[in-house]
Amino acid sequence: MSSTPVRLADVVPFSWVDGPGNRFVVFTQGCPFDCLACHNPETIPPHPPGTRHQTVAGLLTEIRLAEPYLQGVTVSGGEATAQWRFVRDLFRAVRADPRLRRLTTYVDTNGHALPRVWDALLPVTDGFMVDLKALDPDVHRRLTGRGNGLVLDSIRYLHDRNRLAEVRLLLVPGHNDSADQLERTAAWLAALDPEVRVVVIGFRRHGVRLEFSGTPEATPELLARAREALEDAGLRNVVTV
């Protein structure tokens, strides 16, 4: 078994919001994006003082303790693919373990990774949940500090390989919620696949940096408007949270 250590932000032994069913979630440290709306900005720097390191073997021990109550394991972030070798090694080890191999393996990602990273993860990953922060590249750059070319390519790449579990849209009022942006995003996703699961998440201020804490939160009306735009475009699997 590989002993590639991961830079770890946190571990949650039971979560219902990070993929299907009850899941063990590994939150990695470090992210190539710098999202204005990030709820855990302390997970962005790759090497902050006091970063915890953990090996695959150490995490397997923790997962075994929770195993009777789990449906799967998710690696989230920070950005999981920034430490993709660890993700690959962890999921390989889960699948090789007689007690753990029944667990599904999911990655929660911002999608900013090259095909060779997905190729390394595809053989050991059941599903990828990908954030689409904005379809418009300029808005995406403003919100995250990076363009979205890789993200859009990744969504297509994973969909074509039947491993795109869901696309997550975080709606940030005043930034990516205009009618025009919603319609174009809906059209892009519907052209990809009308059956793709789309999860619309309303921006909440909890945890964000002080300079972004004055941004209005998403209202139920905004979520309903987004849902309508997505469904009007033909998407049949839209969830709002």
Which residues of this chain interact with ligand SF4, rule CB under 6 A?
Answer: 31, 33-35, 38, 43-44, 77-79, 110, 144
* In the complex, minimum distance from the CB of residue 167 to ligand SF4, in angstroms, rounded to a whole number: 14
32 or 72, CB closer to ligand SF4?
Answer: 32
User: Under a CB-based contact definition with an 8 Å cutoff, are residues 77 and 87 in contact?
Assistant: no
Judged by CB, which is closer to ligand SF4: 9, or 60?
Answer: 9
**How far is 64 from 22, CA to CA, in rounded Å?**
14
User: For residue 29, what are the CA distances in angstroms to 32, 48, 129, 203, 205?
Assistant: 11, 9, 18, 22, 21
Alpha helices, DSSP H only, in the chain?
A: 56-66, 84-96, 115-121, 137-144, 149-160, 179-192, 220-232
Q: For the residues of 151-208, what is the DSSP string, one character each?
A: HHHHHHHHHHTT-EEEEEEEE-TTTS--HHHHHHHHHHHHHH-TT--EEEEE---TT-
Minimum distance of ligand SF4 from residue 139's CB (angstroms): 14
The least CB distance from residue 57 to ligand SF4, in Å, is 26
- Decide whether 33 or 157 has the Cβ nearer to ligand SF4: 33
- Between 38 and 107, whose beta carbon lies closer to ligand SF4? 38
Instruction: Compare residues 43 and 193 and give the one whose CB is closer to ligand SF4.
Output: 43
Q: Name the residue nearer to ligand SF4 (CB basis): 43 or 105.
A: 43
Length of the chain: 241
Q: How far is the CB of 150 from ligand SF4 (least distance, A)?
A: 12
Q: Least distance from C-beta 51 to ligand SF4, angstroms?
A: 15
Shortest Cβ 54–ligand SF4 spacing (Å): 18
Q: Per 3-state DSSP, what percentage of the chain is helix, strand, and coil (rounded to 5)?
A: 40, 20, 40
